[in-house]
C-alpha cells in the first residue's frame, strides 16, 4: 500500500545522496534518479538540487519532506493496526516512570494505548530516574521512562520525546528578577531545584558543567521531591526554579508562573524509554513502537 516513490524520496532526503539511498533500498542509483524525476514531474516542482555527487533539498523539497514524514508515520500506524487485528496482544506490562513523565505525559499515553489494546493490563511505579533504573536492574519492571541524560551500562535507552527545562518564578515575585537571565545572574539568585537522583537535576547539573559552573556555585535554597512541590513553594518564596516545560504548561498559560528567558541556548533534554540490554520483546516491544509512532 505504501508509495515506493515516497520511500525513495524520504531515504534520499535523509541520506543526502542517491547512491546511499540506492544501497539502503537495494536498487540502483539510476533507478533512484528515475523515481525522483517521476515524482518531481507529478508534483510540478524540483525536490533536490544536484551538487556534484551530493544533493540538497530545494525550498519546496524541504516543505514536502516535512509533510512526507507525517505520511510515513501514518503508514506505520496503519500497518500496526492491521497487525493488531490479526494478533491482538494480551498480557501485563510493568512500567516505571520518573516523576515528570508519570504525572504529566504518561496518563494520556496509557489511556489511548489501553483503548487500542484492551487485552493488555498495565501497572505503573513512580519514582525519580535513579529509582526507575534501579528497578529495571533488579527486574522489578519491564520498561522505564526516564528524564536523565546519563546512561547506565546494562540498559538500553531509546529517545521518544524532546523536552526543555524552564527558568521560572511566580507572577507575584516577577518584579524581583530580571526579564532575562544569564548564568552569572542565575548563580546569584535564590534557586529551588528537584531532589538528588532526579533527571531534571541531572540535566541542569550537566548544563552548568558545560558553562564551567558547579551546583555548589548556585544559591540553592531548597531541594524538593516533585515539580508540584516546587510550584507551591514559589507561591510563597521569592526564588526562581528549574522545571520541565511539560510540568508547567497549565500554569504558564494561566500566567500563574512566569518563564524567564535565558540569554543562552535552552536547557534541553530527551525523554527516554529504557529496558534491560538487548532487544525488547513482546508487549514491551509493542509499547515502545506505540510511543515512538505517537511523535
Q: Does residue 72 have a pLDDT over 90?
A: no
CA-closest candidate to residue 269, choices 220, 205, 215? 205
Share of residues in the chain with pLDDT > 90 (%): 57
Question: Residue 2 — pLDDT band, cuts 50, 70, 90?
Answer: low
The predicted model gives 106-127 an average pLDDT of 90
CA-closest candidate to residue 166, choices 133, 207, 209? 207
Residue 120 is predicted with a pLDDT of 87
* CA separation for the pair 235, 244 (Å, rounded): 17
CATH no. of 4-86? 1.10.10.10
Q: Tell me whether residue 254 is exposed, middle or buried, using C-beta atoms within 10 angstroms of its C-beta: 0 to 12, 13 to 18, 19 or more.
A: exposed
Question: CA dist 134 to 37, 39, 73, 148, 194, Å?
Answer: 53, 51, 33, 13, 19
Q: Does residue 216 have a pLDDT over 70?
A: yes
Question: Residue 214 — pLDDT band, cuts 50, 70, 90?
Answer: very high
- DSSP symbol at 180: S
Q: What is the pLDDT of residues 142-195, one digit of tens each?
A: 999 998 777 888 899 999 888 999 999 999 988 889 889 998 899 999 999 999
Q: Which CATH architecture has domain 162-270?
A: 3-Layer(aba) Sandwich (3.40)
Q: Does residue 1 have a pLDDT over 90?
A: no
Domain ranges of the chain: 4-86, 91-154+277-294, 162-270
Residue 90 is predicted with a pLDDT of 76
Q: Does residue 118 have a pLDDT over 90?
A: no
Q: Which of 66-70, 76-80, 258-262, 279-283 has the lowest mean pLDDT?
A: 76-80
Question: Residue 48 — pLDDT band, cuts 50, 70, 90?
Answer: very high
The predicted model gives 126-134 an average pLDDT of 90
Q: What is the pLDDT of residues 224-242, one digit of tens each?
A: 999 999 999 999 999 999 9
> 195, 241 in Cβ contact below 8 A?
no
Share of residues in the chain with pLDDT > 70 (%): 95
CA-closest candidate to residue 122, choices 148, 143, 99, 138? 143
Whose grid coordinates read 516543505? 63
The reported pTM is 0.63
CATH no. of 91-154+277-294? 3.40.190.10
- Fold match between domain 4-86 and domain 162-270: no
The predicted model gives 192-209 an average pLDDT of 91
The predicted model gives 249-268 an average pLDDT of 89
The predicted model gives 20-39 an average pLDDT of 91
Ramachandran region of residue 284, left (φ > 0), alpha (ψ -120 to 50) or beta? Answer: alpha
Amino acid at each position: 500500500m505504501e508509495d515506493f516513490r515516497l520511500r525513495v524520496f524520504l531515504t534520499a532526503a535523509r541520506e543526502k545522496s542517491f547512491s546511499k539511498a540506492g544501497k539502503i533500498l537495494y536498487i540502483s542509483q539510476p533507478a533512484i534518479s528515475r523515481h525522483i524525476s517521476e515524482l518531481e514531474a507529478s508534483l510540478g516542482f524540483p525536490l533536490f538540487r544536484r551538487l556534484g555527487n551530493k544533493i540538497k533539498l530545494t525550498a519546496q523539497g524541504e516543505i514536502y519532506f516535512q509533510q512526507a514524514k507525517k505520511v510515513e508515520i501514518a503508514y506505520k500506524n496503519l500497518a500496526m493496526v492491521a497487525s493488531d487485528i490479526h494478533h491482538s496482544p494480551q498480557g501485563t506490562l510493568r512500567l516505571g516512570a520518573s516523576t515528570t513523565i508519570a504525572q504529566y505525559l504518561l496518563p494520556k499515553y496509557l489511556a489511548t494505548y489501553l483503548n487500542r489494546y484492551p487485552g493488555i493490563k498495565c501497572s505503573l511505579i513512580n519514582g525519580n530516574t535513579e529509582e526507575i533504573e534501579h528497578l529495571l536492574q533488579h527486574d522489578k519492571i519491564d520498561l522505564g521512562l526516564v528524564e536523565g541524560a546519563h546512561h547506565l551500562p546494562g540498559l538500553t535507552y531509546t529517545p521518544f520525546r524532546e523536552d526543555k527545562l524552564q527558568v521560572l518564578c511566580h507572577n507575584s515575585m516577577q518584579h524581583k528578577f530580571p526579564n532575562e537571565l544569564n548564568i552569572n545572574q542565575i548563580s546569584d539568585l535564590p534557586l529551588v531545584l528537584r531532589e538528588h537522583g532526579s533527571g531534571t537535576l541531572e540535566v541542569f547539573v550537566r548544563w552548568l558543567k558545560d558553562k564551567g559552573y558547579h551546583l555548589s556555585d548556585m544559591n540553592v535554597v531548597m531541594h524538593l521531591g516533585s515539580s508540584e512541590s516546587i510550584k507551591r513553594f514559589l507561591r510563597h518564596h521569592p526564588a526562581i526554579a528549574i522545571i520541565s516545560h511539560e510540568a508547567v504548561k497549565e500554569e504558564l498559560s494561566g500566567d500563574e508562573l512566569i518563564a524567564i528567558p535565558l540569554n543562552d541556548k535552552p536547557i534541553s533534554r530527551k525523554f527516554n524509554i529504557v529496558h534491560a540490554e538487548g532487544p525488547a520483546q513482546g508487549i514491551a516491544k509493542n509499547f515502545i513502537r506505540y510511543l515512538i509512532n505517537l511523535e
